[in-house]
Amino acid sequence: MAVNLSAPSALHPVAGVRIGVAEAGIRKANRKDLTVFLLEPGTAVAGVFTKNRFSAAPVQVCRAHLARGDIRAMVINTGNANAGTGEDGLARARATCAVAGGLLGVAPGQVLPFSTGVIMEPLPLDRIEAGLPAAIADARADHWLRAAEAIMTTDTLPKAFSRQLQVDGVTVTVTGISKGAGMIRPNMATMLGFLATDACIEAKLLPELALELAEGSFNRVTVDGDTSTNDSFIVAATSQAQHAAIASWDTPAGKAVKDAMLEVSRLLAQAIVRDGEGATKFITVRVEGGASAAECRLVAYAIAHSPLVKTAFFASDPNLGRILAAVGYAGIEDLDQTRIELHLDDVHVATKGGRNPAYREEDGQRVMKQSEITVRVGLGRGTAADQVWTCDFSHDYVTINADYRS
């Protein structure tokens, strides 16, 4: 059951974006598994993708199509990742774009394909081709929730958030969806994430924006440390809102729009952790006093990835030496353990590298029984800080992944 995560509400349509969903039977019958995004001409689109060298066929095709620009549609299927499928997988991803482009009257290179699901199985192109007309016919501006539901795999809840703000007296909307619950250590984004705004933003700003949003959100979450073959995060700006174009982020309008987009991105990323496979606790790992933000992240991920730490949190067992051990093996060669400080929320667990004389185990257990917990580590090396979000490991994580293909 997701940790303090509820079904989406108050999702605002984004002018210039229409979404359609269909049941194509890609892997299972009677479930929404094919989604199309239709984008008005002039929409600027940028994306970031997995750093897994075994990237899926649709990721490779998306990179090539984005380099050409002028994207008009996106096609997303669940149930099949089209990864580990070689040249045949590339051909099927390209064919998906050709079929969708033909139905929409646009070039294949103006379509982006996305897939998620089981790896190393042929993409059922015939089912996608048969389902696309229904998905396109279903396209409406207010179908964001339907899309959030249709891109789910092992997710227990759809993930979608929306914000509105005023720019030059004009209402601007930011809405996004994501999916993911396992195989999550994005190293760029999440398994799938789509964020759109009707703000008028110069196209040249979008690639940098997508990277910055990913770094501040999806690149700060981990469920199990596995980087997916299909990670994709897409940012689209339709420029339908009637305000002066944003040509720099160093303006009041630019800052306001970027802040709203970062807020929605963070909510989407954190929702993935809250809905992590079998998760019962949402954990913030904050590392302070580092010589650089990079080494703070190194330590934070060492803690967040540790199965011993994660299972201790599931059991509410304050076996907190496991956290100190993770700090020690994170990879900082000149770490001085006598400067390490450790807190769980308001409980000071360790000081100067050893147990705090005032620490009581019942205080640690009190915090570990909470559904939301903050681990705070002080390195005593400088002024840098950074944080990541993760979850615990429960029995259900093993069950879900052992039975994933059945």
Sign, Cα dihedral of 300, 305, 307, 312: positive
- In the numeric block, the tokens 């891109």 are attached to 151
Burial class (CB in 10 A: 0-12, 13-18, 19+), 238: buried
Closest CA to 233 of 218, 221, 223, 222: 218
State the CB neighbour count (10 A cutoff) for residue 311: 17
Tokens, residue 292: 């650089």
Which residue spans within 238-382 are E strands per DSSP? 282-290, 341-344, 347-351, 354-355, 372-378
Phi-psi region of 277 (alpha: psi -120 to 50; beta: other; left: phi over 0): beta
- Judge whether 156 counts as a catalytic residue: no
Closest CA to 190 of 276, 90, 294, 287: 276
Cα–Cα distance between 277 and 394 in angstroms, integer?
Answer: 8
Tokens, residue 76: 């997303």
Closest CA to 278 of 181, 367, 179: 181
Catalytic member of 116, 190, 238, 390: 190
Beta bridge partners of 160: 177
Closest CA to 113 of 103, 127, 128: 128
Cα–Cα distance between 123 and 98 in angstroms, integer?
Answer: 15
Sign, Cα dihedral of 77, 217, 7, 170: negative
Cα-to-chain-centroid distance, residue 203? 23
Rounded (10°) angle between helices 307-314 and 293-305: 60
State the CB neighbour count (10 A cutoff) for residue 157: 18
Tokens, residue 224: 């199990």
Burial class (CB in 10 A: 0-12, 13-18, 19+), 358: exposed
Q: Which residues are catalytic?
A: 190
